[in-house]
Amino acid sequence: MQRFEFAGATAVVTGAASGIGAALAHALARRGSDLVLLDRDAERLDAVVTAIRAAHPDRRVRTYLVDLADATATAQVAAEIGRRHPRVRLLVNNAGVGLGGRFDQVTFDEFSWVIDVNFRAVAQLTHALLPTLRAERGAHLVNISSLFGLIAPAGQAAYSASKFAVRGLTEALRHELVDDGIGVTSVHPGGIRTRITENARIGSGVSHEEYAAGRAQFEKLLTIAPERAAEVILRGVERRRGRVLIGWSAKLPDLLARVLPASYNRLLVTGLNRGVVRPTPTPAPGVPAPRPAADAAVDPAREVA
């Protein structure tokens, strides 16, 4: 498969108002792509578009406000994109949400909200826009999974379930679409400096003390700039990589999961407590920090991508 050509392409990016999505929008504009940007935050999305148009006045930018938790609204936006942009060369399903808390600390409605945004919307948009990708020679699909699409720590049942589902869907599509000449990439970011702590919901059964402790430790992990993440992702797209891992906070746990698929959590906790795992995943917002090493077997590490 030939390298992806960004110049002259139409790229659809979800979650484009901040973080990796906004960085991808800027990076794609620099590479000569026209943009279709989706988000639910009108003010932040407008700021991104204003900056892109100021720097790249020749780029065409279209925006759609949508809450991807709403399946009906998602279907309507997808249909409109298909009508207005019948030849999409790149689709990046980037939008995602977080939820702190063990499975028994969250309601099923809270659990379902994460699944809806992180997985159902990805599948729905991809299914709706697949004809536009097939119509454009050399098209590519990118689904943003997570470190938690590689490992599944305690305290992140909903998030891990959604991101493993994204990974599974993406891998199947990679095999299904190869004969159509469509490249497919699964992305697994580590600690990226995004607004995830601001936007994450906290399970109804999680105490404020747990949340405060988990958030403070979680934010220490966010060391990678979104702009760097975007460049890594787009280099992977250009080279038609099937999978992209960003940062050692994704690569090291992935290696541990391959070597110790049933017991990596205990090793990560031991490394955390002894300070030998660098860089290390840390607890998710709303989830208690790991206990001392003596309790590692019953309280595995709470990491977040």
Indicate the burial class of 276 (C-beta count within 10 angstroms; 0-12, 13-18, 19 or more): exposed
- The set of catalytic residues is 159
Predicted local confidence at residue 66, as pLDDT: 98
**pTM for this entry:** 0.85
Please say if the pLDDT value at position 171 is more than 50. yes
Percent residues over pLDDT 90 in the chain: 66
Domains and CATH numbers, the chain: 10-246 (3.40.50.720)
Residue-wise pLDDT for 14-47, tens only, equals: 999 999 999 999 999 999 999 999 999 999 999 9
**Paired tokens of 287:** 């989830």
**Residue carrying the six token digits 């994204």:** 166
Predicted local confidence at residue 298, as pLDDT: 25
Predicted local confidence at residue 217, as pLDDT: 55
Please say if the pLDDT value at position 237 is more than 70. yes
Predicted local confidence at residue 205, as pLDDT: 81
CB 195 within 8 Å of CB 94: no
CB 16 within 8 Å of CB 45: yes
DSSP code per residue over 7-29: TT-EEEEESTTSHHHHHHHHHHH
Select the more confidently predicted residue: 219 or 245.
Answer: 245
Lowest mean per-residue pLDDT among 157-161, 174-178, 215-219: 215-219
Q: How confident is the model at residue 253 (pLDDT cuts 50, 70, 90)?
A: confident
Please say if the pLDDT value at position 50 is more than 90. yes
Peptide bond into 279 cis (omega under 30): yes
- Computed over every residue of the chain, the mean pLDDT equals 85
What phi and psi values does residue 263 have, to the nearest 5 degrees? -140, 20
Sorted by sequence, the CB contacts under 8 Å of residue 203 that are 6+ apart come out as 99, 100, 101, 102, 105, 106, 107, 110, 286
Which residue, among 70, 8, 9, has the nearest Cα to 38 in the 3D structure?
A: 70
Which residue, among 64, 45, 228, 250, has the nearest Cα to 145 in the 3D structure?
A: 250
**Residue carrying the six token digits 């990226």:** 192
* Residues paired with residue 185 on neighbouring β-strands, in sequence order: 142
Three-class secondary structure of residue 89 per DSSP: coil
Please say if the pLDDT value at position 96 is more than 90. yes
Centroid of chain to Cα 116: 14
C-alpha to C-alpha distance for 145 and 224, rounded to whole angstroms: 16
Predicted local confidence at residue 286, as pLDDT: 39
Predicted local confidence at residue 299, as pLDDT: 24
**Residue carrying the six token digits 């992977």:** 236
Q: Are strands 61-65 and 34-39 parallel, antiparallel or unpaired?
A: parallel
Which residue, among 289, 279, 295, 38, has the nearest Cα to 153 in the 3D structure?
A: 289
C-alpha to C-alpha distance for 214 and 48, rounded to whole angstroms: 30
Query: How much is the average pLDDT of 173-196?
Result: 87
Residue-wise pLDDT for 110-167, tens only, equals: 999 999 999 999 999 999 999 999 999 999 999 999 999 999 988 889 999 999 999 9
Please say if the pLDDT value at position 239 is more than 90. yes
Cα dihedral value 234, 240, 242, 247, nearest 10: -30
Predicted local confidence at residue 202, as pLDDT: 77
Select the more confidently predicted residue: 256 or 64.
Answer: 64
Predicted local confidence at residue 93, as pLDDT: 98
C-alpha to C-alpha distance for 27 and 48, rounded to whole angstroms: 12
Return the amino acid letter for 174: R
Select the more confidently predicted residue: 238 or 262.
Answer: 238
Percent residues over pLDDT 70 in the chain: 80
C-alpha to C-alpha distance for 227 and 211, rounded to whole angstroms: 28
Q: Are strands 90-93 and 99-100 parallel, antiparallel or unpaired?
A: unpaired
Q: How confident is the model at residue 256 (pLDDT cuts 50, 70, 90)?
A: confident
Predicted local confidence at residue 196, as pLDDT: 60
Lowest mean per-residue pLDDT among 138-142, 174-178, 220-224, 285-289: 285-289
- Helix ranges (H only) for the chain are 19-30, 42-55, 71-84, 108-115, 121-135, 157-177, 196-199, 208-219, 226-238, 248-259, 264-274
Lowest mean per-residue pLDDT among 17-26, 70-79, 218-227, 274-283: 274-283
